[in-house]
Amino acid sequence: MNTPVKISPATLAKLAKLGIRHRADLLLHLPLRYEDETHLAPISTVQPGQTVQVQGTITHSEITFRPRRTLVCRLQNNGGELYLRFLNFYPSQQKQLAEGKQIRAIGEARTGYYGLEMVHPKCRAVEDDTPLQQSLTPVYPTTAGLSQTALRKLIANALETLPLTDTLPDTLLRRLHLTGFADSLQLLHNPTPDIAASALEDRSHAAWRRVKFDELLAQQLSMRAHHRERGQRLAPALAAHGRLAARLIQDLPFALTKAQQRTFAEISRDLARPHPMQRLLLGDVGSGKTIVAALAALQAIENGYQVALMSPTEILAEQHYLKLRDWLTPLGIAPVWLSGSLKKKEKQLAAERIASGETLLAIGTHALFQEQISFCKLGLAIVDEQHKFGVQQRLALRNKGKAAYAVATDSSDAKPKQSLPPCRGKDRMGVESRADNTSTPSPALPLQGGGSCFQEPHQLMMSATPIPRTLAMSYYADLDVSVIDELPPGRTPVITKLVSDARRDEVFARVRAACLEGRQAYWVCPLIDESEALQLQTALETFQLLAQTFPELRVGLAHGKLDNAEKARVMAAFKTNELHLLVATTVIEVGVDVPNASLMVIDHAERMGLAQLHQLRGRVGRGAMQSLCILLYQQPLSELARARLKIIFESTDGFAIAQQDLQLRGPGELLGARQSGVAMLRFADISADEDLLEHARQIADELLRDYPEAARAHLHRWMANKHDYLHV
Ligand code: ADP
Ligand code: MG
């Protein structure tokens, strides 16, 4: 057996960029695709769109300068000809591709300016008798400065020097008709000549299925590990008395939908357990998540615990505050409003009421837990639009309760004492915990009246980004998921129209007519991804243009750079119908509720993603009248933009849209992989590999029960790398 090669620190850094931190990770760094260098296609038979290997003689080679410096070579053979084009090239390449040279080129053929061409094909000089490759050539995901050859060598060395022990027992493999781990990896890295390229490309080959199964199984095991770990942490058991909830429900002008009842029941059951709930409440825009959150809050309050309700923006937070104040004041509960823009004095007052336990419900923005706010007895934290919150913020939230635990543990020798200091000025049990997590150890106080120990609040996350349930469950490995899958009755679906920018004048006329009839409209400014300054400039220009176009209308502008007070003022003016038309950037994306607004124009809709379009459209259709959403687009449309607009035009169901988005872009893009940090699937595709996922679910339980060692080894192989994230 060979010995492991030495890897230089520079290479290690590059490998780390690929997520390879241990030698064993090299084994699971699998090819992205394969190049077929096993045979040659006659040039005359090549069709545009095909990726092929051809061989011929360079009969012409020149550098052209229009539109930019390009090396163009003509490759001929047996009456066929094809052009090779290089936009970036070295002098050595130019020499290699000089007239008269015999070349083998592999690349995708397409129709170009001169006829059939390949752009940046992989080329090498050959003789008449240079042998062809015997098997498909793997192409790995790589990073700048790390060549395919270097990566191949490292992986080959890992395959030779590391044990490829199967983590799964034979009996399971036989029952599931899965191939062995070692064989599968060898084959994927070094396919034998008899293997059909297509089975490897579309990942349907048995070797791929084994790897995908392993990945899904690891994910299932890690989810179970999370759950088990959470089951060992403590949270207050908030019994479901339901008295306050019943009173609120009775006072509502509407009846809860079945989905609202079901999801609340799921939440209520979790809250009653002495372990922290971590549940994601998924529901389309307008599905009525707020009332479910309010009911959950009441369950905590009824048990004498505090609730924090947090939103990513001031506008949203305030909306929640006003709504919950209306709902809960008759029940004798006065929420406290807390936001970054409060005056120092007011903030201090609010903070004191929260710290003393006088207030049981605090509603606000991130400020609630980013700043020095300490809760007396936090039982439940509700986070709206949780995808806007980063991993760090979720951790900070959890630590609000943890600090209390630290005080108790530090001061006792071995086991944590179940005792905490009482609230300031109140006789409730609980502890002051600090956001900065620097509470100084103090002697453990004797147990107070035999109450329970408060360590960690329950967490309820809410999201209107409707992602498919399976995806949600595997993406948020540590979350339970409840889905509100029906809208309250009596909504008129929004009509969506696609209008080319060439017909902008007609759209203006429509906006004018609607506003003069007493309706209100949104005009969403084009999205400029590259720069915030440009985005702002575009918003200002759009506003000026529309104000000029509609001198008879009152036009307002809301954008992300307005200060909070100004933004609130504009939104309030729109809400009270002082403004006819609100020009806005995507700040209005989430949560804004103005029932009288029944027309929305989305300018340059082709630049926006599906989720964003869906969210924006959800701002209209909130009242009784028929609403209209006009998607104004600029020609020409890219294929992706065309596909997106078609989907949003045809469907108003957020989950259906998300499902299609998933197919269009894949889960990583859909969710913004970097944002969460929880392990994403690299190989398996939960929509295409549902059968494997089902097996993985069953086997995970069986493995944990009958083969705990195997389960441990399996998790180690697949998750060792991701450990940092496991506890978020
Ligand atoms: P979201 O899920 O987007 O946060 P909200 O909670 O803001 O939705 O609810 C949207 C609107 O629907 C609110 O005006 C709310 O009062 C109303 N609503 C909620 N549940 C129901 C229901 N069961 N029947 C009728 N209207 C409802
Ligand atoms: Mg909401």
Q: Three-class SS string for 31-56?
A: CCEEECCCCCCCHHHCCCCCEEEEEE
Give the model's confidence band at 472: pLDDT under 50 very low, under 70 low, under 90 confident, else very high.
low
Contact 401, 435 (CB under 8 A): no
Question: How far, in Å, CA of 96 to CA of 107, rounded?
Answer: 17
Asked whether residue 24 carries a pLDDT value surpassing 60, the answer given is yes
Q: Which runs of consecutive H residues, i.e. helices, occur in 162-196?
A: 170-176, 181-189
Considering only 167-181, 383-397, 412-426, 464-478, which range has the smallest mean pLDDT?
A: 412-426
Question: What is the structure's pLDDT at 368?
Answer: 64
- The residue-averaged pLDDT of 284-298 equals 93
**Nearest bound ligand to CA 282?**
1
Ligand 1 nearest-atom number relative to CA 319: 7
Specify if 573 maps to a domain.
yes
Specify if 237 maps to a domain.
no
The mean predicted confidence, pLDDT, of the chain is 82
Ligand 1 nearest-atom number relative to CA 257: 23
- The residue-averaged pLDDT of 343-363 equals 91
Domain CATH code at residue 59:
2.40.50.140
Residues 6+ apart with CB under 8 A from 5: 153, 154, 157
Question: How far, in Å, CA of 96 to CA of 73, rounded?
Answer: 11
What is the Å distance from ligand 1's center to 78 Cα? 71
- The residue-averaged pLDDT of 394-409 equals 48
**Distances in whole angstroms, Cα of residue 330 to Cα of each of 305, 309, 324, 511:** 19, 19, 11, 41
Residue nearest to atom 9 of ligand 1 (CA): 288
Question: What is the structure's pLDDT at 666?
Answer: 56
Contact 285, 654 (CB under 8 A): yes
What is the Å distance from ligand 1's center to 462 Cα? 14
Packed helices 289-302 and 243-251: angle between N→C axes, nearest 10 degrees: 150
- Higher-pLDDT residue of 87 and 109 is 109
597 forms beta bridges with 520
- The residue-averaged pLDDT of 177-204 equals 89
Residue 109 structural domain = 40-131
What is the Å distance from ligand 1's center to 562 Cα? 28
Give the model's confidence band at 276: pLDDT under 50 very low, under 70 low, under 90 confident, else very high.
very high
Asked whether residue 224 carries a pLDDT value surpassing 90, the answer given is no
Give the model's confidence band at 430: pLDDT under 50 very low, under 70 low, under 90 confident, else very high.
very low
Question: How far, in Å, CA of 467 to CA of 487, rounded?
Answer: 16
**End-of-domain residue from the set 651, 681, 709:** 651
What is the Å distance from ligand 1's center to 597 Cα? 16
Question: What is the structure's pLDDT at 227?
Answer: 81
- Higher-pLDDT residue of 80 and 661 is 80
Task: Give the CB-side neighbour count of residue 109, counting CA atoms within 13 A.
Answer: 21
Closest CA to 75 of 48, 45, 89, 55: 55
Query: Ligand 1, residues 249, 251, 254, 323: which to mutate, most atoms within 8 A of Cβ?
Result: 254
Contact 536, 561 (CB under 8 A): yes
- The residue-averaged pLDDT of 73-81 equals 93
Considering only 146-160, 206-220, 309-323, which range has the smallest mean pLDDT?
A: 309-323
The per-residue pLDDT for range 99-144, each reduced to its tens digit, is 999 999 999 899 888 889 998 898 989 998 889 888 888 989 888 8
Ligand 1 nearest-atom number relative to CA 283: 2
Asked whether residue 425 carries a pLDDT value surpassing 50, the answer given is no
Specify if 88 maps to a domain.
yes
What one-character DSSP code corresponds to residue 578?
S
SS3 category, 582 = strand
Residue nearest to atom 24 of ligand 1 (CA): 488
Specify if 64 maps to a domain.
yes
Domain CATH code at residue 579:
3.40.50.300
Question: How far, in Å, CA of 18 to CA of 32, rounded?
Answer: 13
The per-residue pLDDT for range 633-656, each reduced to its tens digit, is 998 888 888 989 999 999 988 888
**Distances in whole angstroms, Cα of residue 323 to Cα of each of 62, 252, 319, 334:** 71, 12, 6, 12
Closest CA to 431 of 521, 555, 542, 306: 306
**End-of-domain residue from the set 628, 651, 674:** 651
Question: What is the structure's pLDDT at 721?
Answer: 60
Residue with tokens 């034979």: 170
Pocket (CB within 6 angstroms of ligand 1):
254, 256-257, 260, 283, 285-291, 464, 488, 593
Specify if 663 maps to a domain.
no
Residue nearest to atom 22 of ligand 1 (CA): 488
Question: What is the structure's pLDDT at 2?
Answer: 75
Asked whether residue 434 carries a pLDDT value surpassing 50, the answer given is no
Question: What is the structure's pLDDT at 725?
Answer: 34
Question: What is the structure's pLDDT at 338?
Answer: 87
Question: How far, in Å, CA of 644 to CA of 452, rounded?
Answer: 52
Specify if 111 maps to a domain.
yes
Question: Number of folded domains in the chain?
Answer: 2
- Higher-pLDDT residue of 533 and 411 is 533
**Nearest bound ligand to CA 384?**
2
**Distances in whole angstroms, Cα of residue 156 to Cα of each of 65, 71, 149, 515:** 42, 35, 10, 68
**Nearest bound ligand to CA 315?**
2
Considering only 274-288, 364-378, 383-397, 555-569, which range has the smallest mean pLDDT?
A: 383-397
Asked whether residue 398 carries a pLDDT value surpassing 80, the answer given is no
Ligand 1 nearest-atom number relative to CA 256: 23
Question: What is the structure's pLDDT at 371?
Answer: 62
Would you state the structure tokens that stand for residue 678, as one six-digit string? 């929880």
Would you state the structure tokens that stand for residue 621, as one six-digit string? 């259709």
Question: What is the structure's pLDDT at 409?
Answer: 32
Contact 61, 97 (CB under 8 A): yes
**End-of-domain residue from the set 590, 624, 651:** 651
The per-residue pLDDT for range 537-577, each reduced to its tens digit, is 888 999 999 999 999 999 999 887 888 788 878 888 998 99
Question: How far, in Å, CA of 453 to CA of 438, rounded?
Answer: 20
Asked whether residue 45 carries a pLDDT value surpassing 70, the answer given is yes
Percent of the chain topping pLDDT 90: 46
**How distant is the alpha carbon of residue 126 from its chain centre?**
47
Residues 6+ apart with CB under 8 A from 717: 24, 28, 167, 214, 218
Asked whether residue 86 carries a pLDDT value surpassing 70, the answer given is yes
Question: What is the structure's pLDDT at 723?
Answer: 43
E strand segments, 456-586: 458-463, 480-484, 495-500, 520-524, 555-558, 581-584
Question: What is the structure's pLDDT at 680?
Answer: 59
Would you state the structure tokens that stand for residue 284, as one six-digit string? 């389309």
Helices (H) and strands (E) in the chain, counts: 25, 21
Question: What is the structure's pLDDT at 313?
Answer: 77
Specify if 591 maps to a domain.
yes
Question: What is the structure's pLDDT at 184?
Answer: 96
Question: How far, in Å, CA of 165 to CA of 170, rounded?
Answer: 12
Strand 102-111 and strand 116-119: pairing? antiparallel
Specify if 596 maps to a domain.
yes
The per-residue pLDDT for range 573-598, each reduced to its tens digit, is 998 999 999 999 876 655 567 889 99
Strand 102-111 and strand 51-64: pairing? antiparallel
Asked whether residue 326 carries a pLDDT value surpassing 60, the answer given is yes
Asked whether residue 272 carries a pLDDT value surpassing 90, the answer given is yes
